[in-house]
Amino acid sequence: MRRMLGVLLILVLGLSVVASGCISGSSSSGSGTATQNSKGITLVIVTRHDATIQYLTKELFLKSKIAKEYHITNLKFIGVPESLWPEYIKKGADVGWGGGPTLFDDMYKMGYLAPITDQKVLGLIGKQIPKTLAGMPMIREENGKVYWIAAALSSFGFTVNKQVLEKQKLPFPHKWEDIATYKWARDPPMYGIADPTRSTSNTRIYQIILQAFGWDKGWRIMTIIAANSKVYEASDAVRDAVINGEIAAGNTIDFYGYTAMKQNPNCVYVIPQGESIINGDPIALLKYSKHPEAAQAFIYWVLTEGQAVWMSPDVNRLPINAGIFNQTITQDEAKVLFNGKYAGETFGKARPALLKAYKLAITSKGIPFNDNEALKTVNALQYYFKATLIDVNGPLHQTWMAIVNAYKSGKITQQQFEKLKEELTAPIQFKDPLTGKMVTFTEEYAAKINNKIATDAGFQSQLMQEWRNAAQAKYNKVMEDLKKMEGS
């Protein structure tokens, strides 16, 4: 399977640098910075892309004319979580690639991105690379300078295992609210979500739900989804659980859905109609790059002929540059991407399913998503979701199942069920560490604490404990109210 392939590629080819290692092009330098030795330039790339993408990129890029022109003889990938990106950027990494716009906007706000200056790269914008797509920004431009450019496209939805769905007698979901219903209440849970502090794709899904339904209703929907869910640490674990039949469906970014469909024909990826968006997955020049010219040459390659990497059946990403579908597959590309097949054919002919998925994604009806508004509350959203819906998911799930079972067995009326559901999904009240006053988690409050909760570890820890305690108390209170209703 793909995960095993990734592990083998790392072990055999040594593509990624472990988090504790140095990122020097020469192990003897001891400086922890990218270097150029007599054999050429080693570009250091901090990434969230997996080992398969790293391997295919290295294989194709180092054979390219651009690599030879700029004397780039090696690519060294640093695959680490977002929290460690600043450490490696300050050590001299050259390029940041993959992980979603939220991560790159965070790096931009912290001053870790450098503006693109290469005219060949900038010349792609508005031509081969759209400035916006389906209403979403494909570049981050501030004061006339471009700080990141989308290198791939992503949509967000859920992947469904139809066989497990039928076995569990679950209704097929078409929209987010279809999951937020008692019909999806199962023990053990049959839906999967990931911790937003560990998954940028799940973070984006939660932001989409909030903007699609509004702050109050959005949190109520997410509370029931979480109550119906098994929690996974990372988004790829959700995907694998759907593929393996552990759960019937789960939150996924599009290419995880396409991978699931390839590995298990019972799986299908669903874009919630009118309740999703198209994202650009960025690439950027990093502030302390030792080789900015070579780094931007690599960025240009990724945005042009390097789009071929997304065409691999082991990757299944949607390209930002649609021209790749009309390009003819070279012998090298056929060997690296398709086990020697399709040389001389176009990528569109070789990958008709991916071309169809691309057309569907860019024409799907989405929501008018405001990226700037999402940025104002992203950190607060992640930690509040984790504290109230992830960390105390057990009590939430148990309380919800007790309510649903009581309703199904006739122990409570529909009116009582709706009252308990309203109480379960109501916003918690908690003591604000800054003022000592009792408050609720409004959008305004989230915006007010957004920066502080990401930068002040003491404040973050104190507030998250307040949230956990308040959420636990709410779930206990709802359970007590249910028992009173059953006894009446």
Kindly report, residue by residue over 211-236, the tens digit of the pLDDT.
Answer: 999 999 999 999 999 999 999 999 99
Residues (pLDDT < 70) of the chain are 1-38, 488
Q: State pLDDT tens for residues 123-177.
A: 999 999 999 988 889 999 999 999 999 999 999 999 999 999 999 999 999 999 9
Q: State pLDDT tens for residues 474-486.
A: 999 999 999 999 9
Is there a contact between 15 and 77 (Cβ–Cβ < 8 Å)?
yes
Q: Long-range contacts of range 4-9, CB-CB < 8 Å, 24 or more positions apart?
A: 5/51, 5/52, 5/314, 6/50, 6/51, 6/52, 7/51, 9/51, 9/52, 9/54, 9/55
List the Cα angle 161/167/171 in 5-degree steps: 70
Pairing of strands 40-47, 95-97: parallel
Amino acid in the structure at residue 307: Q
Is there a contact between 259 and 316 (Cβ–Cβ < 8 Å)?
yes
Give, to the nearest 10 degrees, the angle between helix 200-213 and helix 371-385.
110
Is there a contact between 432 and 213 (Cβ–Cβ < 8 Å)?
no
Q: Does residue 173 have a cis peptide bond before it, meaning omega lies within 30 degrees of 0? A: no
- How far is 452 from 221, CA to CA, in rounded Å? 27
Give residue 11's pLDDT. 41
Calculate the dihedral angle through the C-alpha atoms of 362, 364, 365, 369, rounding to the nearest 10 degrees. -50
Give residue 488's pLDDT. 61
Helix ranges (H only) for 264-329 are 292-303
Give residue 372's pLDDT. 83
Q: What is the pTM of this model?
A: 0.80
Helix ranges (H only) for 320-392 are 331-338, 347-350, 352-363, 371-385
Give, to the nearest 10 degrees, the angle between helix 254-263 and helix 352-363.
150
